[in-house]
Amino acid sequence: MSESTTSIEIGRLMDCTDCLEPAEAFALIGNEIRLAILEALFEADDRPVSFSTLHRSVGIRDSAQFNYHLQKLTGHFIRHVDGEGYDFRYAGEKVVRAIVAGSFTERPELEPFLVEGECVDCGGELLAYYQEEHLSIECVSCDRGHGSYDFPPGGLTDRAPSGIADAFDQRVRHLHCLAADGVCPECSGRMQPKIRERTTSNDEPVVEVERSCEQCGHVVTSAVGLQLLDDAEVVTFHRERGIRLDQQPYWTLPWCVCPTYTTVLSRDPYRFEVAIPVDADTMQVRLDSQLEVTDIAILTTS
């Protein structure tokens, strides 16, 4: 099947007559009983869940009323499995997970807290700030930013500051791993890298990688070096020198957050070189405009 034919067929699927407008979809779940049904399905030990078990879990005496609301959800948020009961469709599970994560209902506040590592510029202490569902890491002394990414409120639940910092580090790695593979971490749509050059308020030139989803518009932005966190040769380079990259918070690695470790070799097309120093050795990694590694060299300072 040709690429054009595939695109046409996907386009026809997107124009399905059974689709809902966003306002209709939210209206369907804007009811306490329907939300209770979704939550009961989410909390079930096994799925599919039978009608009687689901009815009992929700706790509504009127069977007809329960069935009415159940059928309103069926087709778009849950699905009926013949002979077995009910299970989630993707949209239904996504709604419940957003509620559990606090994305729809919570606006928590958190006092700034110290995190592991020191500023890549001045060596000052680093503080984590949580505002508007984003966690940011900044230097106490010089205000240098070490990354700011979305972090759902549910990530704060039952975690001490050190646990929050660790969860944030793992989330950032996961987001960039998916984005680097061209998959949007929000909707699984296509993402393509774009190079952005800008100047900070201190006239510092900054080169960033911006990956924007073609479908939902979600954007993931990072330093060029962050693309190399899970590169096999970079991981091996550190392991051979007694460092496990998976145990180092990304913000403690200067080449992941500081633009001075990235050199723009050319702009048409873009070519980069990222310097990764460890003790007396420096790994020089060259990347092309698609952020693919093209060459690696290791220099040793005598």
Helix (H, G, I), strand (E, B) or coil at 156: helix
Q: What is the pLDDT of residue 237?
A: 97
Structure tokens at 156: 């704060």
Question: Residue 21 has what pLDDT?
Answer: 63
43 in a structural domain: yes
User: What is the full DSSP assignment across 37-60?
Assistant: HHHHHHH-SSSSB-HHHHHHHHT-
Q: Which two tokens stand for residue 14?
A: 């997107």
Q: In terms of residue numbers, what domain contains 19?
A: 3-100
For residue 285 the two structure tokens come to 């990694």
Residue 143 lies in a domain: no
Position 9 scores a pLDDT of 40
Using alpha carbons, select from 177, 183, 189 the residue that is nearest to residue 222. 177
> Has residue 77 been placed in a domain?
yes
- Asked whether residue 23 is assigned to any structural domain, the reply reads yes
How many separate domains does the chain show?
A: 1
Angle between helices 51-58 and 63-73 (to 10 degrees): 110
159: which DSSP letter? -
Domain annotation covers residue 85 = yes
C-alpha–C-alpha distance, residues 233 and 24, integer Å: 50
Q: pLDDT at position 1, please? A: 38
Residues in Cβ contact with 81 at an 8 Å cutoff, skipping those fewer than 6 apart: 48, 87
Tokens of 265: 């070799």
Residue 155 lies in a domain: no
One digit per residue, pLDDT tens: the chain, 302 residues? 344 334 334 343 344 445 656 566 666 777 888 888 988 988 888 989 999 999 999 988 888 999 999 998 998 888 999 989 999 888 888 788 777 665 555 566 789 999 999 999 899 999 999 988 899 999 999 988 999 998 988 888 889 999 999 999 999 999 999 999 999 988 899 998 999 998 877 777 889 999 999 988 889 998 999 999 999 999 999 999 999 999 999 999 999 998 889 999 999 999 999 999 999 999 999 999 999 999 999 999 76
Q: Say which CATH number the domain at 62 has.
A: 1.10.10.10
Residue 248's contacts (CB-CB under 8 Å, 6 or more residues apart) are: none
Domain-embedded: residue 94? yes
Determine the pLDDT at residue 110: 87
The answer to the question of residue 110 being in a domain is: no
Between CA 189 and CA 211 the distance in angstroms is: 11
